[in-house]
Amino acid sequence: MIPMQTERVAHRRGTAPHQPGRAGWRLVVFLLWAAALAPVGAHEDNFVEIRQLTANIAASPDNPRLYLRRAEMQRLLRHWHAAEADYRRAAELDPKLALVDLAFATLWNDAGQPEQALVLLDGYLSRSPAGPEGYAERARSNRMLKRWAAAAADCAEVLKHTPDPDPEVFAAWAAVLIDGGERAQALEVLNRGIARLGRVASLAMKALDLEESMALHDAALQRIGAMLAAPGRKDSLLLRKAGILLAAGRGDEARACVVLARQQFNAVPEARRLTAAGRQLAAKIDRLETQTAKTTSTQNTNHPPQ
Amino acid sequence: MTLRTFPATLAFLVIAALPSVHAQSITRGPYLQMLSPNAITVRWQTDVATDSRVQYGGAPDTLASNAGDGASVIEHDIRLTGLTPDTTYHYSVGTSATMLAGGDDTFRFKTAPLPGTIQPVRIWVLGDSGTGGDGTGRAESVRDGYYNSTFYQDPDFWMMLGDNAYTNGTEAETTRAIFQTHPMMLRKCTLWSTLGNHDTYTSRGEPYFNAFNLPENAECGGQASGTERYYSFDYANIHFICLDSEGNHADGSPQLEWAKRDLENTIQQWIIAFWHAPPYSRGSHNTDTEPGLVQQRLDFLPLLESHGVDLVLCGHSHCYERSMLLNGHYGLSSTFDPNTMALDTGDGSETGDGAYQKTEGSNNGTVYVVGGNSGKASGGSLDHPVMITSQNKLGSLIIDVNNSRLDVHEIGTDGVPLDNFTLLKGPLGPRLIPMGWYSVSDHAGTPRALPILDHTFIEPRQAGLRRVEISFFESVLVGNPATAVAVTGINAAGPVDLSSLGITVTASAIDDRVVVEFSNDSGPCALPDAAKWRFTLNPAALSGTSGAILPNGAANSRVITSLAGDTTGTGRCTGIDLNRIANSGPFNPLDADHLRADITGDGVIDATDRAAAWANRATRTDTLTQPD
């Protein structure tokens, strides 16, 4: 899990003073701009909590965590000025509250100003290097700035500091590498995720996409073979396999695979075939059947369809 | 030590010695997680670390099998494997030396049936129920509304739609709102959950993820997601897919990639999707003005609808809202066009506009339910145009799935339904239709015929329909064949008047069936084509020939007598219009209300133990046939 959202980090505590720095006036401009665009939607829970926090602050006006929490609620409501005021008050009360920098950095990234975010994040990470949130936000900044290597390095740090990572951690890292033209490395990252988390469908499908795009036909066929061995429907996977075989010049096998896909599709209960996705799949089978009928195998093969 | 100080010293020594005794105390649970046909996880929490042991077996006093873990922990987490599908087990939990809980009939679980199995399934759904134990009594009133309702029966499992513990999803709030509010349900029915925004407010959801075991690696069916934030599972003929509205759901995100693969993979008859923040609402949240909700609608709905998802359950908005049968509305509410984005603008009720049909060669159409009203009811404009009903009331949902039929009831705090609708799907032809009949006695034992509850129902178009049979649970007599049943066709242009077409409807009784036939001047004929047919039975023209509920000595017990068919063995379910059984106070058989009741094997309903009396539910159904 890459915790891009500030509320996820609101409870973590930093160790160094808040330094708004030269970016401050631009942030004010941004806040004014954002306030003008703020939606009017009610968010009843947040209002309730803000009322409660306001009462708590009245009772404990020197507690920075209360201001920080209220700032987060204000931010969720897009009450930018109120959020900024509470962040700043929290920082005044506890100059070691580095979290404020992370919160402001998130706002800068949201505003499409990653350079400003980087300044704050570098400071934040120098003081709070142990959590994944700062690295994730900095990876976001670096990605927006097309600093692919730096972004990938930050993604590696996110994984390093996340004891129980979600697929999102690996997917985000791979995406940065793909953007930077490092597809082989991206594939390695995805395989690393699969090795760690199990045969996760999202990572496996992304890896398959990459292998296909890199014309790694054997690797792709091996991967899809393993997926076909698992329980469940086979039709869409068989069709995908037929496409790979076709791209690999193995037309006869592709044709046989399409036949299998059609058989499997026809065996699927009506409730699942008579959907928009089912109809699209049927149309794909038709198209690939036509395509494979026109294609002759360019090479002999010892790979029977599964 | 003086005599004055001795008692205090003694007290200190006693207290100091207490931990070894106190160590045996359970602070959460036991509760059940990750139900599958062959496995289940039993969880409980103790106040101090101990080892873990679960004993289980076919009866409370024969817990012959056991599983455990020697590690000393507070959070006990034991996966029982190698179980038989669709089978009831009893269990106890404790340490290797001591049983801490269990040993009676309330500590039990039933394994899931194999995927694809067709059998009645009952699900209880709570949304935003996190006010439990906060002193306001709101979540408790919702819980008791279901427990005391005549609809009550033990669900096969239950679900929470997020925001399970207000305000910040802390450990203490989780204990209070879930474990202290629902101890009885937790010990006997598996709870599934989705992540709400409030559940993430403490350490990014750490207390939530600590409390729940959710499948990451397709342990209960579906595709491996690699995370507990979104997952899927199968139960009988239903596929459930849980999404994460609080995380990344952009196009190309791991969540959507996984969901696509998961939906491609299932062959289940029904698909129910659930997550926290709704795609359509004008309650305490507005899905037109909150950008996250606008985007989520665009991200989730096209994928789900393209795969024929039947029902979507969400919370977040603290009200009850329920849509018509929709397909293809992804924009703001101002862009909603019922002519092109609704497949059925009716209310989906068999006693109203008719059930929603997914039988016309298409599995398109989804009903969206916002049920974030199990702990709060906090208003809003409640006027979203896709909604059939929008109510600022507390309640919970029950979902009944039986083969090609899915019924949903929203139950209020008084146990009375606030809304209901039905989804039907599958090929046209003979269809199972719940229908019941009882003769009962009053307090004095005088037989009193009760009318059939659902005496109005609607069937989809069936070309060439010549005869309809409606069966009952006991022998039935038809007094006047001409008035026993009225048949009305409904087309887009309005009602079809059979009499103007020269078609006569007659009803006759054959044992436990009413046979409805059609004729014209030339003799027997088929019904003309129509979009739907409504068959209205007239209770005044029908009577039963047997059956009574008589006092059985004890004040809270009644015996069902003279039932046709099986009154032994696994029992016989009737489900229709019996007598309301109050949760407390004297049992009043004349306090008639809508009741789905079951009869235990010996034909006894014991009002003092509804759980036992209703445990063997098996919905009695009747068949609409289409003979040659």
pLDDT digits (tens, 9 = 90+) for B73-116: 999 999 999 999 999 999 999 999 999 999 888 999 999 999 98
For residue B509, the model assigns a pLDDT of 79
Radius of gyration in angstroms for the set of CA atoms belonging to chain B, rounded to a whole number: 26
For residue A232, the model assigns a pLDDT of 84
Region B527-546 average pLDDT: 67
Interface membership of A96 toward B (CB under 8 Å): no
CA proximity to B26, closest of B113, B92, B90? B92
For residue B360, the model assigns a pLDDT of 53
Interface membership of B203 toward A (CB under 8 Å): yes
Residues present in chain B in total: 628
User: Do B512 and B473 contact (CB within 8 A), yes or no?
Assistant: yes
Tally the domains of chain A: 2
Q: Which of A39-43, A78-82, A199-203, B421-425 is predicted with the least confidence, judged by mean pLDDT?
A: A39-43
Query: Cα separation of B520 and B334, whole Å?
Result: 50
Q: Which carries the bigger pLDDT value, residue B483 or residue B270? A: B270
Query: Cα separation of B150 and B583, whole Å?
Result: 10
For residue A302, the model assigns a pLDDT of 46
* Structural domains of chain B, ranges and CATH numbers in brackets: 23-110 (2.60.40.10), 121-426 (3.60.21.10)
**Single-letter code of the amino acid located at A228:** L
Region B143-167 average pLDDT: 92
CB-CB under 8 Å, A202 with B264: no
Q: Is the pLDDT of residue A267 over 60?
A: yes
Q: Is the pLDDT of residue A13 over 80?
A: no
For residue A193, the model assigns a pLDDT of 97
Banded model confidence at residue B544, pLDDT cuts 50, 70, 90: low
Residues of chain A positioned with their CB less than 8 A from the CB of B269: 269, 271
Banded model confidence at residue B475, pLDDT cuts 50, 70, 90: low
For residue B522, the model assigns a pLDDT of 87
For residue B472, the model assigns a pLDDT of 57
Region B403-417 average pLDDT: 92
CB-CB under 8 Å, B267 with A269: yes
Residue A73 lies in a domain: yes
Residue A124 lies in a domain: yes
Burial class (CB in 10 A: 0-12, 13-18, 19+), A29: exposed
For residue B446, the model assigns a pLDDT of 39
Q: Is the pLDDT of residue B354 over 50?
A: yes
Region A190-202 average pLDDT: 95
For residue B615, the model assigns a pLDDT of 28
Banded model confidence at residue A219, pLDDT cuts 50, 70, 90: very high
Q: How far is B300 from chain A (nearest CA, A)?
A: 14
For residue B489, the model assigns a pLDDT of 78
- Give the closest of A39, A44, A171 to B318, CB-based: A44
Region A65-87 average pLDDT: 82
**Structural domain of residue A44, as residue ranges?**
1-128
Residues of chain A positioned with their CB less than 8 A from the CB of B118: none
Torsion of CA B60, B65, B69, B70, to 10 degrees: 100
Q: Which of A102-106, A199-203, B333-337 is predicted with the least confidence, judged by mean pLDDT?
A: A102-106
Q: Which carries the bigger pLDDT value, residue B614 or residue B264? A: B264
Interface membership of A44 toward B (CB under 8 Å): yes
A128, A152, A176 — which closes off a domain?
A: A128
A99, A128, A157 — which closes off a domain?
A: A128
User: Do B466 and B506 contact (CB within 8 A), yes or no?
Assistant: no
B534's enclosing H/E stretch is: strand B532-537
User: Do B415 and B150 contact (CB within 8 A), yes or no?
Assistant: yes
Q: Is the pLDDT of residue B244 over 80?
A: yes
SS (H, E, C) B419-443: EEEEEEECCCCCEEECCCCEEEECC
Question: Pairing relation of β-strands B311-314 and B367-371?
Answer: parallel
Q: Is the pLDDT of residue B10 over 80?
A: no
Residues of chain A positioned with their CB less than 8 A from the CB of B427: 270
Which residues 120-149 of chain A have a CB within 8 Å of chain B? none
Q: Is the pLDDT of residue A173 over 50?
A: yes
Burial class (CB in 10 A: 0-12, 13-18, 19+), A129: exposed
For residue B43, the model assigns a pLDDT of 98
Residue A7 lies in a domain: yes
Q: Is the pLDDT of residue B552 over 80?
A: no
The position carrying tokens 């929470």 is: B160
Q: Which of A279-293, B244-258, B514-528 is predicted with the least confidence, judged by mean pLDDT?
A: B514-528
CA proximity to B271, closest of B245, B233, B297? B233
Please give the structure tokens belonging to residue A296: 């002759």
Please give the structure tokens belonging to residue B502: 């020269």
Q: Is the pLDDT of residue A187 over 70?
A: yes
Residue A298 lies in a domain: yes
Under 8 Å CB-to-CB from B356, ≥6 apart: which residues? B325, B343, B344, B346, B348, B365, B367, B421, B422, B423, B424
A128, A163, A189 — which closes off a domain?
A: A128
Residue A273 lies in a domain: yes
CB-CB under 8 Å, B363 with A272: yes
Torsion of CA B13, B16, B18, B20, to 10 degrees: -120
Query: Cα separation of B322 and B280, whole Å?
Result: 9
CB-CB under 8 Å, A11 with B203: yes
Q: Please give the mean pLDDT across all residues of chain B.
A: 78
Q: Is the pLDDT of residue B471 over 80?
A: no
CB-CB under 8 Å, A1 with B247: yes
For residue A97, the model assigns a pLDDT of 76
Banded model confidence at residue B485, pLDDT cuts 50, 70, 90: confident
The ipTM value here is 0.80
User: Do B622 and B537 contact (CB within 8 A), yes or no?
Assistant: no
Which residues 274-303 of chain B have a CB within 8 Å of chain A? 284-286, 288-291
For residue B518, the model assigns a pLDDT of 85
How many CA within 13 A on the CB side of residue A240? 20
Which residues 129-168 of chain B have a CB within 8 Å of chain A? 163, 167
Region A252-259 average pLDDT: 95
pLDDT digits (tens, 9 = 90+) for B195-215: 999 999 888 899 999 999 999
CB-CB under 8 Å, A3 with B204: yes
3-state secondary structure of B489: strand
Please give the structure tokens belonging to residue B102: 């269990």
Percent of the residues in chain B that have a pLDDT greater than 90, as a whole number: 56
CB crowding B511-520: b at 16 or more within 10 Å, else e:
ebbbbbbbee
Percent of the residues in chain A that have a pLDDT greater than 90, as a whole number: 54
Displacement of CA B376 from its chain's centroid (Å): 20
Residues present in chain A in total: 306
For residue B587, the model assigns a pLDDT of 27
Region B517-534 average pLDDT: 80
Q: Which of A83-87, A176-180, B133-137 is predicted with the least confidence, judged by mean pLDDT?
A: A83-87
DSSP characters for A181-193? Answer: T-HHHHHHHHHHH
Query: Cα separation of B299 and B279, whole Å?
Result: 10
Region B327-340 average pLDDT: 96
Q: Is the pLDDT of residue B34 over 70?
A: yes
For residue A44, the model assigns a pLDDT of 62
Residues of chain A positioned with their CB less than 8 A from the CB of B362: 274-275
Q: Is the pLDDT of residue B484 over 50?
A: yes
Could you give phi then psi for residue B166, rounded to 5 degrees? -85, 150
Q: Which carries the bigger pLDDT value, residue A106 or residue B390? A: B390
Say if residue A122 is in the same domain as residue A239.
no
For residue A41, the model assigns a pLDDT of 36
Percent of the residues in chain A that have a pLDDT greater than 70, as a whole number: 82
Q: Which carries the bigger pLDDT value, residue B513 or residue A303? A: B513
Query: Cα separation of A264 and B31, whole Å?
Result: 40
Q: Is the pLDDT of residue B558 over 50?
A: no
Euclidean distance between the first and the last CA atom of chain A, given in angstroms as a whole number: 35
The position carrying tokens 């393993």 is: A226
DSSP characters for B118-171? Answer: -S-EEEEEE-S-TTTTSSS-HHHHHHHHHHTSTT----SEEEE-S--STTT--H
User: Helices in B162-245 by DSSP H: which ranges?
Assistant: 171-174, 183-188, 206-211
Please give the structure tokens belonging to residue A67: 């201001």
Q: Which carries the bigger pLDDT value, residue B600 or residue B493? A: B493
Q: Which carries the bigger pLDDT value, residue B6 or residue A125? A: A125
Residue A208 lies in a domain: no
For residue B38, the model assigns a pLDDT of 95
Banded model confidence at residue B585, pLDDT cuts 50, 70, 90: very low
Q: Is the pLDDT of residue A121 over 60?
A: yes
For residue A300, the model assigns a pLDDT of 45
Banded model confidence at residue B301, pLDDT cuts 50, 70, 90: very high
Query: What secondary structure letter does DSSP report for B115?
Result: T
Q: Is the pLDDT of residue B575 over 70?
A: no
CB-CB under 8 Å, A7 with B258: no
Residues of chain B positioned with their CB less than 8 A from the CB of A233: 264-267
For residue B463, the model assigns a pLDDT of 55
For residue B476, the model assigns a pLDDT of 66
User: Do A155 and A176 contact (CB within 8 A), yes or no?
Assistant: yes
3-state secondary structure of B387: strand
Strands (DSSP E) contained in B3-152 are 26-33, 40-57, 65-80, 88-94, 99-102, 108-110, 121-126
Q: Is the pLDDT of residue A175 over 90?
A: yes
Query: Cα separation of B587 and B581, whole Å?
Result: 6
Q: Is the pLDDT of residue B573 over 70?
A: no
User: Do B116 and B268 contact (CB within 8 A), yes or no?
Assistant: yes
User: Helices in B567-621 by DSSP H: which ranges?
Assistant: 610-613
For residue B149, the model assigns a pLDDT of 86
Q: Is the pLDDT of residue B596 over 90?
A: no
Question: Pairing relation of β-strands B513-520 and B467-471?
Answer: antiparallel
Region A183-208 average pLDDT: 96
Banded model confidence at residue B359, pLDDT cuts 50, 70, 90: low
For residue B614, the model assigns a pLDDT of 29
User: What's the CATH number where A77 sits?
Assistant: 1.25.40
Residue A261 lies in a domain: yes
Residue A32 lies in a domain: yes
- In B, minimum Cα distance to A53 occurs at B167
Under 8 Å CB-to-CB from A200, ≥6 apart: which residues? A167, A193, A194, B224, B225, B226, B254, B258
